[in-house]
Structure 1
Amino acid sequence: WIANYHTVNPGQIIMKNNDNFYGDPDFLYKGAAVSKGSLVPVVGIEYRENQVPRLITPNGYLTANKSYAQKVVPNIKDYLYDYPEYVVMKTNDYYYQDVNFSKKGEFVSKDTLIKVLSVDYTENGLPRLKTAKGYITANKSYVTKLVSNSDNYFTENPHQIIMRVSDKLYTDVEFRNASRTLSSGTVVPVKGIEYSSKGVPRLKTEEGYLTANKNYVTAAGNTNNNYFVTNPKKVKLLIDDCFYNNVEFTKKGQAVKKNTIVEVEAIEYTNNGIPRLKTKHGYLTANKWYVAKVD
C-alpha cells in the first residue's frame, strides 16, 4: 500500500481532487480547503513506521496519497498545467502516442486549434496535454491557451468577411503596427486564422491582419445577421429540410423533418462566407429562418 503514497518530498504538488489541510498528522483538526488544480509547495514528509505518510506544507498537513497529490517538476510554471480546454500551437510539432513521448505520431502545424481532453503526467511530474489524436507538449514555448471569450471570435476561416464597423488593418499578428483603416461595409477575403501570443484569433488577409472579433466583423454571407456564427450546440428544425454532404451544399444527403433536434459539432463556412452547421450527419443550414437554437 505504501507505493500509493509519496514517501520522499516531491517539492511541490498539484491537487488532483478537492481536499483540506489539517493541523495535525493524524488529520483530527481540519483546516482550510484546498481545491483541485491548486499548486502546493511541500516542505517535508511526516513518515512514521506503519502509519500513513503526510505532506508537510506551509498551510498544514496534507494527504500524501498519489491519487490526490500529483508530483510536478520544479519548473511547472513553464507549462500549462491548469487544464486549458483549448490550446493553440505556437510552432510546428507532433502528437505522441504515449505520455512519455516515446512514440511520435501525426504532425501538427503552427496555429492549429486543439481541444484538450485532460492533463496527464509522466512519472517525473511533467505535464502533457491529452487530445483526441494523442499527447502534445504543455510547454508554454510551444502552446498557448485559447482566449477565454473565444465564442466572440472566428476560430474557423470565414473565407470572406464584411466590416461591421471601421477598424484598422495591421502588419503583424500582435497588432503592434497599424497600416490603414478599413471602413464599415468593406468586404475582405480571408486567407486563414492565426493567433497572437496570448491566444487571440486574428484574420489573416492579403494585406495583413484583421480582428476576428464578431463585434467588428461578420461572415460575408451574414450581412443581415440571420445566420448562426457562434456554435448553438443544439438546434431544432423549423421546416422540413435535408443534410448535405459538403459545406457548399452541392451534394444533398438524408432528409430531416421539422421539429427534429440536431446536435451541432461546429460552424464552417463556404468560399463566399456563408455559415453552415456541421453535424455528424453532414452539413445543415445555419439560417435562423430554418433552424432555432435549443437551450
Structure 2
Amino acid sequence: MRALVVEHGDGGPVRFADVEEPLPAADEALVEIRHIGLNLGELRYAEEWPAGVIHGHDAAGVVVRAAADGSGPAEGARVALGMAPYAWAERVAVRAAWLGVVPDGVELTDAAALGVAGVTALRVLRTRSLLARKVLVTGASGGVGRFAVQLAALAGAEVTAQVGGPDRAAGLRELGARDVVTDLSTVDDRFDLVLDAVGGPDLARMWDLLADGGAVHLVGFASGQGTTFPAGALFGFGAPRTINTYGDATSPVTGELTDLLGLLATGRLSAQVGLRGDWKDVDDAVRALFAREVRGKVVLDVS
C-alpha cells in the first residue's frame, strides 16, 4: 500500500513509498483512510522522526475490521484519528484510544481536521473556568488558534486574537474573537489565560499582560526565536502567575475527539479547513503551509 513517510534533507519532509500492510494487534482496529490532516509542527520538525517511517497523526476514514478484543468502534464505523501514530497511509492499525466515532451529518473531511489542533486547544482551555474571563490566543489564524478562539468563546470568555498581519485576521471575529490585534504592544488588557503558539520576544509581553493568578500555556514556537525577560520581570506579588509547557501528548484522546465531533455535529464548532486537495499534491500543500498561506487546517483526500 502507499503511505507518506518521513524524508530527511532537501527532498522532505515527506515522500510517497510502498509499505507493508498493517497487521493489527488484538486491541487495534484496521481503518481505511479517506482523508489526512496536516499539522505544521510534524512537518517542520520531521527530522525528529526516523527517516522512512509512516508519518502523520491526524486522519479520518472507515473501520474495515474491528479490534479482535471487542474494544473500539465496530466495522463500518466512520472514525476520526487524533494524535495517532503512523496515520498517513491507505490503511492504518490503530487503538481505540486514538479514535472518535464521527456522528451522522459530520463530513469526514472536517473530522480529519480535528486531531492535534483541536485536542490541543481543548485541553489547554479546560485547565480553568473561562466564563467571563479574558483569554488571549496568539497565532490565532492557524489550526490550533482558530479552534481555540471558537472554544474559548463558547465557554463564555472574552477572546483577543493575535495574528501576524492584517491579512491573517479574516474571519476571526465571526469565530468569536472580541478583538483582533497584530501588535501586543498596543494591548492593555490583563488576561487570565494565554494560549501561545508563537513564542519568541512576544512571550515577555504576554507575561506582562497576565492578570494575577493567570497562566500562559505554550503550545508552539512559530516565531523560531528565543525569549529574554527583563531583570525582575519574573518577580511579583499577588496570586502566582505561571508559564506552562503543553503537557501530556500521549494520553488517550477519545474523549476530547468525541466532544469536538459533537460540537461539529451541532454546528457550534467549525473545522476551518483552509486548504483541501489530493494527497498526491502534498508537496504543494506543505509549501503553502510553510509559507503561511493557509488560514486554518490543511486536509488532503487519500486517492
In our comparison, the structure showing a higher alpha carbon Rg is 1
TM-score above 0.5, yes or no: no
Considering Cα pairs closer than 8 Å and 6+ residues apart, tell me whether 1 or 2 has the greater RCO.
2
**Which one has a larger percent helix, Structure 1 or Structure 2?**
2
TM-score (norm 2): 0.28
TM-score (norm 1): 0.28
